[in-house]
């Protein structure tokens, strides 16, 4: 038998129109987690400002070039992993060189609309006097965002040449994951 107090409380709540149903936390509407960025969501380019340009005029040490991705979509999306980078050479003997990956661990980057992230390519420049067969002269970079199959074609804006190590196990020219 229900107590008089319980019946009166339920009646008062119904009469006031404030019946609240308990909803389990798992059924509550949550904002969907962002999905990965697709090539169509992005634009890409070389970082050209001041200290972002690689030191291609020297041959004593490695240097870095940076490629950026900007989210041009109207949604937040994520990038995680390594971009695919194929360099096309300017010399007829260069061909295409698919860059090796570093041992750096990738991180997940969330890009809101208009946000930009980048990754670095470590390069080993060589002197202009280096024999043709030992140097690679970059012309274009085919850059594929992580987990995508469509690439951007970027013209190499920095000049210079790189020690040709396209068949090396641990080349001195390699790429780092997005966000590093």
The predicted-structure confidence for 51-105, as pLDDT tens digits, reads as follows 889 999 999 999 999 999 999 999 999 999 999 999 999 998 899 999 999 999 9
What is the Cα–Cα distance from 94 to 176, expressed in whole angstroms? 23
**36-175, what's its fold?**
Immunoglobulin-like (2.60.40)
| Residue of 68, 69, 65, 43 lying closest to 56 (CA atoms) | 65
Contact 129, 142 (CB under 8 A): no
Confidence at residue 13, expressed as pLDDT on a 0 to 100 scale = 41
- Of the CA atoms within 13 Å of residue 95, those in its CB half-sphere come to 9
* Residue burial 150-180, b: 16+ Cβ < 10 Å; e: rest: ebbeeebebebbbbbbbeeeebebbbbbbbb
With the CA atoms of 49, 151, 109 and 28 taken in that order, what torsion angle do they form, in degrees rounded to the nearest 10? 140
Confidence at residue 2, expressed as pLDDT on a 0 to 100 scale = 46
pLDDT band at 32; cut points 50, 70, 90: confident
Q: Average pLDDT for residues 138-158, to the nearest whole number?
A: 97
Confidence at residue 15, expressed as pLDDT on a 0 to 100 scale = 45
Q: Average pLDDT for residues 106-133, to the nearest whole number?
A: 95
Contact 54, 65 (CB under 8 A): yes
Is it the case that residue 11 has pLDDT exceeding 50? no
Confidence at residue 30, expressed as pLDDT on a 0 to 100 scale = 59
Maximum C-alpha span of the chain: 100
Report strand pairing: 108-111 vs 100-101. unpaired
Is it the case that residue 20 has pLDDT exceeding 70? no
What is the Cα–Cα distance from 92 to 113, expressed in whole angstroms? 41
Is it the case that residue 143 has pLDDT exceeding 90? yes
More confident residue, 25 or 137: 137
Confidence at residue 180, expressed as pLDDT on a 0 to 100 scale = 86
Cα three-residue angle 124-60-141, rounded to 5 degrees:
20
Confidence at residue 12, expressed as pLDDT on a 0 to 100 scale = 42
Contact 133, 94 (CB under 8 A): no
């Amino acid at each position: 038998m229900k107590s008089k107090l319980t019946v009166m409380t339920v009646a008062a709540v119904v009469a006031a129109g404030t019946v609240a149903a308990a909803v389990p936390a798992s059924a509550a509407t949550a904002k969907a987690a962002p999905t990965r960025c697709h090539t169509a969501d992005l634009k890409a380019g070389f970082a050209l400002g001041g200290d972002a340009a690689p030191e291609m005029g020297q041959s004593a040490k490695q240097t870095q070039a940076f490629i950026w991705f900007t989210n041009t979509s109207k949604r937040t999306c994520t990038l995680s992993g390594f971009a695919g980078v194929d360099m096309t050479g300017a010399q007829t003997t260069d061909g295409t060189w698919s860059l090796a990956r570093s041992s750096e661990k990738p991180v997940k980057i969330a890009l809101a609309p208009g946000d930009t992230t980048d990754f670095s390519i470590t390069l080993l420049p060589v002197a202009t006097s280096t024999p043709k067969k030992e140097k690679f002269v970059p012309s274009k970079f085919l850059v594929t965002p992580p987990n995508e199959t469509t690439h951007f074609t970027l013209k190499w804006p920095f000049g210079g040449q790189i020690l040709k190590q396209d068949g090396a196990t641990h080349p001195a020219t390699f790429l780092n994951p997005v966000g590093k």
